[in-house]
Structure 1
Amino acid sequence: MTVKIGLIGAGGMGRAHVERIEQELAGARVVAVADLNLDGARAVAEPLGAKAYGSGAELIADPEVDAVIIATFGKVHAPDVIAAVQAGKYVLCEKPLATTIEDSIAILEAEQAAGRKLITVGFMRRFDQGYQEMRKALVSGDHGYATLVHCRHRNPSVPENYTTRNMIDDTAIHEIDVCRYLLGEEIVKVRIDTPRSTSHRFEHLADPLVLVARTESGVLIDDEVNVNIGFGYSIECELVMEQGTIRLGDQNKTVVRDGAGNRNAICGSHIDRFHDAFNQEFQQWIRAVERGEHTGSTAWDGYAATAVVEAALESLDNDGREVDVTLIEKPAFYN
């Protein structure tokens, strides 16, 4: 079976997904592309012999589309996610699942009404080999339980329309989810600390920030979000346990050694750094759709991450006050 995929969102992320599906992965092809910019949709669709639509609703209604990828802006995800679920189609939605608690809960309710899990959220770090090895080290119990997680999310730069809010809801959300994945428990408290800002930023931006969180068992998480670091895209994580630590390794296996010292190349973007993780995520999703099964993170994971983001934004607006993360009771559907 070849899974016929419809892509909603013909921007950079959507185009990267088309490239991986068409050139690197097996079992699927893109048969339709939708974007509010119809010319943009056509530019992606025509070389594939695919249809172009001016809205996600039109694409979802196409009977030829088996499954849907949503790669639009987070604030417009909810209507298309719900429409895909109501049409009985599997959907892989890039993070965030939604940007409000209300939209996230509406998505949960729609999926439960459909009676089966159809939504996978694009938290690709769960598929990164380094994070998977960290998770295995903790689950093994060989080093005791977790006490701390240190995270660093550093971008070379960001565009002028990127906001301080985006540092949390678009950037730190990755660490929020991957820490939930590593630790297997929910985050219950969060605050935002604001150190001295870098001069290499737009005036409207508070950069860097540090997100500090606590989990149900008391594990302390700190996440430095630093989006104008200049030298490259650098993701770091160290999991501290009672009798050992484990951290992500270097981005590349080769090291240059010369008169300038020992050094390895630094990735320039998340697409470079997590290329293999993206491929693993999408290949597993395609194979699961073939079998009529769900795989990957769930709509609950998307909702829980959004709840932490909302609490963090409240902290940011209140001078770094610690804020409790409020979650609805987890439906048995997601256990």
Structure 2
Amino acid sequence: MTLRVGVIGTGMIGRDHIRRMTTVLAGVAVTAVTDVDVATAKKVAEGLPGAVLHATGEDLIADPAVDAVVVCSWGPTHEQYVLGSIAAGKPVFCEKPLATTQDACRRIVEAEVAAGRRLVQVGYMRRYDAAYRALKEVVDSGQIGNPLMMHCAHRNADVPSFYEKESAITDTAVHEIDMVRWMFGEEITAARVLIPRKSRNGGPLQDPLLLILEMAGGALVDVEISVNIRYGYDIRGEVVGEDGTAALGDLSPVLVRSAGQAATPVPVDWRERFLRAYDVEIQEWVDSIAGGGVPLGPSAWDGYAAAAVSDSGVEALRTGTRVPVTLAPRPALYDAAVEVPR
């Protein structure tokens, strides 16, 4: 059985998901597209035999030839399209953020709980990266004892001109926020932000930043956020346990020795670093919902929790204080929300 998917948003990430669903993955077909940029959506639709171009996201969701929805539109529109998909009883994969406010995320959680089954998956692809999965396997095995700390780095060569100081938390470190909840299998209880010397490459931004997260079990996580580091896209992670440490592997599978030097290539951007993780993420989503199943990846609760921690991080950045994370009671529907069954 082929899962028929409609894609809302045909910008860069939307087109990339369409490419993987039509040329890389199995058991899925793109049958409908839409975007506020009608010309771009029309061009995309013309390259998809049999696909329908819809005027609105609501029209696409209502299309009987669409079994499931992928939302890749502008962040502030996510809530309406995810809620529309829940109301239609259709599984929906939503690129992060789930929504742009905690309240909006809670409305989505409440709608899904009222529907009585999980329909929503949020696009936190770190959980599908082979290196992160291998790291989690070591942590879960107990080989290094109880985890005490985790050191993370999220480094971008540069960021676009519209990037704001809060984006370091809400757009960049939010991936680490979701990842450490999954890595440790528990919630984050508080956030702090330390501000080091400002980089000359940062322009108007305060760059870099050091985000400190307190886990419910007592472990501490530090996240270096450097978004104008120039040399490339560099993602790092090391868990310090009672009996040893475990870290993500090398950035590249190749080590080049030439002209008196040994060099490991550094990825240019997130697309290069996490290309395979995106493939695995969407394939596992397709496989999980085929035949009426439920999505097993990051849930609406995970999207809400990430938003709540991000808000605490932004407040910590603004005030220079330790800011607790306050979460609503977690519904039973999400009892395994910080785990990804495999």
- TM-score, scaled relative to structure 1: 0.97
Distance in 2 (alpha carbons) for counterparts of 1:309 and 1:199: 26
Look up the SS of the partner of 2:166 in the other structure: helix
Counterpart residue number, 1:172? 173
CA-CA distance at 1:264 after TM superposition: 1.2
1:33-44 alignment runs, 5 A limit: 33-44=33-44
Q: Does 1:212 align with 2:212?
A: yes
Structure 2, unaligned runs of 5 or more: 336-342
CA contact (8 A) 1:160 1:202 kept: no
Deviations 1:59-94 (A, max 9, x none): 111111110111122222111101001101101111
**Aligned-pair distance for 1:316?**
1.5
Tell me the amino acid that sits aligned with residue 82 of structure 1: L
Q: Using the alignment, how far apart are the partners of 1:302 and 1:97 within structure 2?
A: 5
Take 2:333 and 2:287, find their aligned partners in 1: how far apart are those partners?
Answer: 22
Mapping 1:21-60, distance limit 5 Å: 21-49=21-49, 50-60=51-61
Listed one character per residue, the Cα deviations across residues 112-170 of structure 1 (whole Å, up to 9, x for unaligned) are 11111000111111011111111111111122101001010011111101111111111
Rounded to whole Å, the distance in 1 between the matches of 2:271 and 2:304 is 24
1:239 and 1:114 map into 2 onto residues whose CA distance is: 38
Partner of 2:339: none
Counterpart code for 2:5: I
Matches of 2:246 and 2:286, distance apart in 1: 31
Contact 2:9 2:33 in 1 (8 A): yes
Corresponding letter in the other structure for 1:268: V
SS in 2 for 1:277: helix
Count of residues in Structure 1 that have an aligned counterpart in Structure 2: 333
For the residues of structure 1 that align with 2:300 and 2:249, how far apart are their CA atoms? 30
Once the two structures are TM-superposed, the CA of residue 9 in structure 1 deviates from its matched residue by: 1.0
Q: Using the TM superposition, name which of 137-146 and 47-56 deviates more.
A: 47-56
* 8 Å Cα contact 2:69/2:85 also seen in 1: yes
Equivalent residue runs for 1:45-124 within 5 Å: 45-49=45-49, 50-124=51-125
Q: Note if 1:227 corresponds to 2:223.
A: no
* Aligned residue in 2 for 1:270: 270
Query: Is 2:181 aligned against 1:198?
Result: no
How much has 1:30 moved relative to structure 2?
Answer: 0.9
Aligned 8 A contact 2:144 2:246 in 1: no
What corresponds to 2:7 in structure 1?
7
Contact kept, 8 Å, 1:158 with 1:227, in 2: the verdict is yes
Distance 1:54 1:243 in 2: 58
Q: Which moved more, 1:320-329 or 1:48-57?
A: 48-57
Contact 1:127 1:278 in 2 (8 A): yes
RMSD of the alignment, in Å? Answer: 1.1
CA distance, structure 2, for counterparts of residue 142 and residue 174 of structure 1: 25
Q: CA deviation at 1:47?
A: 0.7
Distance 1:151 1:36, change over 3 A: same
In 1, the alpha carbon distance for the partners of 2:327 and 2:260 equals 51
Listed one character per residue, the Cα deviations across residues 257-293 of structure 1 (whole Å, up to 9, x for unaligned) are 1234211111111111111111111111111121322
Kindly indicate whether the alpha-carbon contact (under 8 Å) linking 1:38 and 1:53 is maintained by their aligned counterparts in 2.
no
Rounded Cα–Cα distance in structure 2 between residues aligned with 1:165 and 1:73: 18
Task: Point out where structure 1 has 5 or more consecutive residues left out of the alignment.
Answer: none
- 8 Å contact 1:99–1:169 — kept in the other structure? no
- Counterpart CA distance in 2 for 1:47 and 1:157 is 32
Q: Secondary structure, in 3 states, of the residue corresponding to 1:149? A: strand
Deviations 1:9-31 (A, max 9, x none): 11111111111111110111111
Contact 1:37–1:54, Cα closer than 8 Å, also in 2: no
Aligned-partner Cα distance in 1 for 2:152–2:260: 28
Q: CA deviation at 1:57?
A: 1.2
51-60 or 175-184, larger mean C-alpha shift: 51-60
CA contact (8 A) 1:191 1:316 kept: yes
Shift in Å, 1:302: 0.8
Partner of 1:332 in structure 2?
332
> Quick check: 2:10–2:33 contact (8 Å CA) kept in 1?
yes
The residue type paired with residue 223 of structure 1 is V
Distance 1:260 1:207, change over 3 A: farther
Q: AA paired with 1:206?
A: Q
Residue deviations 1:235-270, cap 9 Å, x none? 000011111111111122110012342111111111
* Structure 2 equivalent of residue 287 of structure 1: 287
TM-score, with structure 2 as normaliser: 0.95
Q: Does 1:160 align with 2:161?
A: yes
